[in-house]
Amino acid sequence: MFTEETTFSAESYFASQPPPPTLQHDVERVREFIKRHNNEGRSVVLVTSGGTTVPLELNVVRFLDNFSAGTRGATSAEYFLKAGYAVIFMHRQFSLQPFSRHYSHSTNPFLDFLEIESPADGSKTPAITVTPSKREDLLEVLSMYKDVHNRGTLHTLTFVTVDDYLWLLRAVSQEMSILGRRAMFYLAAAVSDFFLPRQRMSEHKIQSEKGRLQIEMDQVPKILKPLVDEWTKEGYIVSFKLETDDNLLIPKARAALERYGHQVVIGNDLHRRKYEVVFISRKEKTSESTTTADMNSGDFQEYWLRIAIPDTSGGVSPHKVKEIEEDIVAELGKRHASWISRA
Ligand code: 9Z3
């Protein structure tokens, strides 16, 4: 079923797969956002979040999806904003977003926060108020949200398919190159490894009469390579590696770093991702180690971040629960600052 061949290089992929129709418009808005923050000397982080889809038909009825609710990306975006970054939040349509994530329709529906108060004289329209026990939390989130809105530090972009994602990533990273070392990439989106090229897609809904469905997919080009080498040569690039087998996490994260030559791979296990992550990066070169050109295990450093699994049984407010993204962003903020100062 799997072949060794990678049929699409990044170049042949972009030459053969059409861009999303809104690309030009999206890029113009991103350009303005980056220009404004660049003029103000602010660092800008691109946060990607949520899973990509792979449509099976041109008139799409069925598609393959990648696992991700968008929690990592939306939560991290909030902490980057708090840390003073301007954030381009590129996320899967309808996945979680910064601030509104606290009031997700399934876990914390916002209608449950509101009360209808009948007016005393019975003639006027009833007033809507916030349930007293929820006010403190809501005020905190709302204040941050309004502040970010007023300062214009958050710009949102959406993708659905892996095609949308790849075209947007290329265009946004090219725009971000004017920021030099003040650009950070935080690639938390769960991106499909396989896709069905347009040229082989059925135009209409695949019919079931023919029995078993067999689909042969091509590999998505390894996009980190041109990102690092061509599109944004000075950006600080953080990618995520998701595994379900513990034994693979560190070797696969190291292999990614070796292959693409970027700054950090954050490894996370599917089931422990909210409480434990590992940063894999290259050891900073000292005068003694600069002679070692080859990449053996001694050239990498592992940095584990762990938080206690919160006990939410006592009705603790969701806003008071510690989130690992706070520590991830704090650590990256330090590393990015030192990367900028080393320019
Ligand atoms: C991640 O590993 C993210 O941390 C999660 C976040 C998707 C696990 P949630 O949104 O989940 O909080 O529910 N993202 C990267 C996943 C990925 O596709 N990585 C590729 C790989 O592992 C490399 S780009 O091969």
What is the 3-state secondary structure of 133-183? HHHHHHHHHHHHHHHHHHHCCEEEEEECEHHHHHHHHHHHHHHHHHHHHHE
303's tokens: 């940095």
| Residue nearest to ligand 1 atom 22, measured at CA | 241
Q: What ligand 1 atom has the least distance to the C-alpha of 224?
A: 24
- Flag whether pLDDT at 293 surpasses 50: no
Ligand 1: centre distance to CA 133 (Å):
35
Ligand 1 proximity of 173 Cβ (cutoff 6 Å): no
Ligand 1 proximity of 68 Cβ (cutoff 6 Å): yes
99: alpha, beta or left, given left = phi > 0 and alpha = psi -120 to 50?
Answer: left
Ligand 1: centre distance to CA 52 (Å):
11
Residue in this structure with the two tokens 């946060």, named with its chain if needed: 47
Q: Which phi and psi angles does 56 have, rounded to 5°?
A: -100, -15
Q: 3 Cβ partners below 8 Å, 6+ apart?
A: none
Ligand 1 proximity of 268 Cβ (cutoff 6 Å): yes
Could you tell me how far CA 208 lies from the centroid of its own chain? 36
Whole-model pTM: value is 0.93
CA dist 86 and 91 (Å) reads: 16
Q: What is the DSSP letter of 180?
A: G
What is the pLDDT confidence band of residue 324, given thresholds at 50, 70 and 90?
very high
What is the pLDDT confidence band of residue 276, given thresholds at 50, 70 and 90?
very high
Ligand 1 proximity of 307 Cβ (cutoff 6 Å): no
172's tokens: 């946004």
Ligand 1 proximity of 227 Cβ (cutoff 6 Å): no
CA dist 57 and 71 (Å) reads: 29
- Flag whether pLDDT at 110 surpasses 90: no
Ligand 1 proximity of 191 Cβ (cutoff 6 Å): yes
| Residue nearest to ligand 1 atom 3, measured at CA | 188
CA angle at 105 for the pair 243 and 306, rounded to the nearest 5°:
35
- Flag whether pLDDT at 254 surpasses 50: yes
Could you tell me how far CA 60 lies from the centroid of its own chain? 25
Best probe residue, ligand 1, of 49, 54, 68, 104 (max atoms within 8 Å of C-beta): 68
Cα Rg of the chain, angstroms: 22
Specify whether the CB–CB gap between 265 and 256 falls below 8 A.
yes
pLDDT of res. 289: 43
Ligand 1 proximity of 190 Cβ (cutoff 6 Å): yes
ipTM: 0.95
CATH of 10-341, one of 3.40.1410.10, 3.40.50.10300, 3.40.50.2000, 3.10.180.10: 3.40.50.10300
Ligand 1: centre distance to CA 44 (Å):
21
What is the pLDDT confidence band of residue 318, given thresholds at 50, 70 and 90?
low
Ligand 1 proximity of 239 Cβ (cutoff 6 Å): yes
Domain boundaries, the chain: 10-341
Q: Is 204 helix (H, G, I), strand (E, B) or coil?
A: coil
Ligand 1: centre distance to CA 92 (Å):
13
CA angle at 66 for the pair 227 and 28, rounded to the nearest 5°:
45
CA dist 118 and 323 (Å) reads: 39
CA dist 168 and 73 (Å) reads: 17
Ligand 1 proximity of 70 Cβ (cutoff 6 Å): yes
pLDDT tens, 40-96? Answer: 999 999 999 999 999 999 999 999 999 999 999 999 999 999 999 999 999 999 999
pLDDT tens, 116-131? Answer: 988 877 677 888 999 9
